[in-house]
Amino acid sequence: MKLPGNMQNMMRQAQQMQEKMQQEIALIRVDATAGGGMVSVKMDGQKNLLSVKIDPEVAGDVEMIQDMIVAACGEAVKQVEAQIQQKMGGMLGGMGLPPGMF
């Protein structure tokens, strides 16, 4: 089934925007900390954990370290999601879609 020219154009634009968005998301890098900086993590736009740094002062308290790693990762995920929403809002804003649609 062949779509009308205008619809094909819109589909092509949507595909290009999706590809551009995926490229921009791949470039996202965030740093998050917990415990006043005792634990820090780096995460990419796909929410892959890239690194974890632990202050040697807390190295003996395993339970506290575990909690701080979970907290730092949670913060990193929030930062990634906020950046993705910001990028999507900017990109989709030009399409005239109602706010909150994506």
Looking at residue 92, its pLDDT comes to 62
Q: Domain for residue 90, yes or no?
A: no
pTM for the model:
0.72
Mean pLDDT for the stretch of residues 61-80: 95
Question: How many structural domains compose the chain?
Answer: 1
Looking at residue 37, its pLDDT comes to 94
Q: Domain for residue 4, yes or no?
A: no
Q: Domain for residue 43, yes or no?
A: yes
Q: Domain for residue 80, yes or no?
A: yes
Q: Domain for residue 18, yes or no?
A: no
Q: Domain for residue 64, yes or no?
A: yes
Instruction: Tell me: pLDDT of 21 over 80.
Output: yes
Q: Domain for residue 39, yes or no?
A: yes
Averaged pLDDT of the chain: 86
Residue 94 phi, psi dihedral angles, 5° rounding: -75, -10
Q: What CATH number is given to the structural domain containing 53?
A: 3.30.1310.10
Q: What domain range is 64 assigned to?
A: 30-85
Residues contacting 82, CB < 8 A, separation 6+:
none
Q: Domain for residue 15, yes or no?
A: no
Beta strands in the chain (DSSP E): 29-34, 39-44, 49-54
